């Protein structure tokens, strides 16, 4: 009832999602850029039901990372790798998570090397990012 006047509003049920998985990812990224992580994660969840599962899991991991929930971030990075074992960005993200927490640094180094090894078709900027991750890990390993 609306305002106690006896008026009932119809309930709207969407049977078919009008957005593609790519559109859900893009919407999630826009939420994440505004640090609206809960909304971003929901959009990534909807995208993960489509053909972009690995990327959606990676982005979900990034959102949890932004929220400071490293366990959830790690879990989603691993889900991304399970969905696409050749996903260089997911290897690098997991490596960076370990580096940022200063844990599992030997595994982090292997993950960063794997990301670089798989980066053949990625931009030079992305490959440089992977190398920066590896460099950070190697500095941490020397301490």
Q: pLDDT, tens digit, for every residue of 14-67?
A: 567 788 999 999 999 999 999 999 999 999 999 997 679 999 999 999 999 999
pLDDT tens, residue by residue, 74-91: 999 999 999 999 999 999
Domain count along the chain: 2
Confidence of residue 8 (pLDDT cuts 50, 70, 90): low
Residue 52 confidence (pLDDT): 93
2-15: b or e for each residue (b if 16 or more CB lie within 10 Å)? eeeeeeeeeeeeee
In a domain, 48, yes or no: yes
The pLDDT assigned to 79 comes to: 97
* pLDDT of the residue at 2: 45
Task: Say yes or no: 97 and 69 in one domain.
Answer: no
Average pLDDT over every residue of 101-110 = 98
State how far the Cα of 63 lies from the Cα of 38, in Å rounded to an integer: 8
Together in a domain, 26 and 60: yes
Q: Is the same domain home to 69 and 101?
A: no
**Region 84-109: what's the mean pLDDT?**
98
Q: What range does the domain containing 96 cover?
A: 86-143
* Same-domain status, 71 and 106: no
Distance CA 96, CA 12 (A): 43
Q: Is residue 11 part of a domain?
A: no
């Amino acid at each position: 009832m609306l305002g106690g006047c006896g008026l009932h509003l119809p309930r709207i049920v969407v049977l078919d999602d009008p957005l593609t998985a790519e559109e859900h990812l893009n919407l999630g990224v826009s939420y994440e850029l505004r640090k609206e992580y809960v909304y971003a994660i929901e959009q990534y969840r909807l995208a993960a039901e489509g053909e972009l599962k690995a990327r959606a899991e990676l982005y979900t991991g990034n959102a949890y990372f932004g929220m400071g929930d490293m366990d959830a971030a790690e879990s989603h990075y691993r889900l991304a790798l399970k969905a696409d074992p050749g996903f260089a960005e997911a290897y690098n993200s997991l490596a960076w998570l370990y580096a940022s927490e200063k844990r599992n640094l030997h595994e982090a180094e292997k993950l960063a090397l794997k990301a670089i090894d798989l980066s053949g078709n990625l931009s030079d900027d992305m490959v440089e990012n992977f190398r920066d991750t590896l460099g950070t890990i190697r500095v941490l390993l020397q301490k």
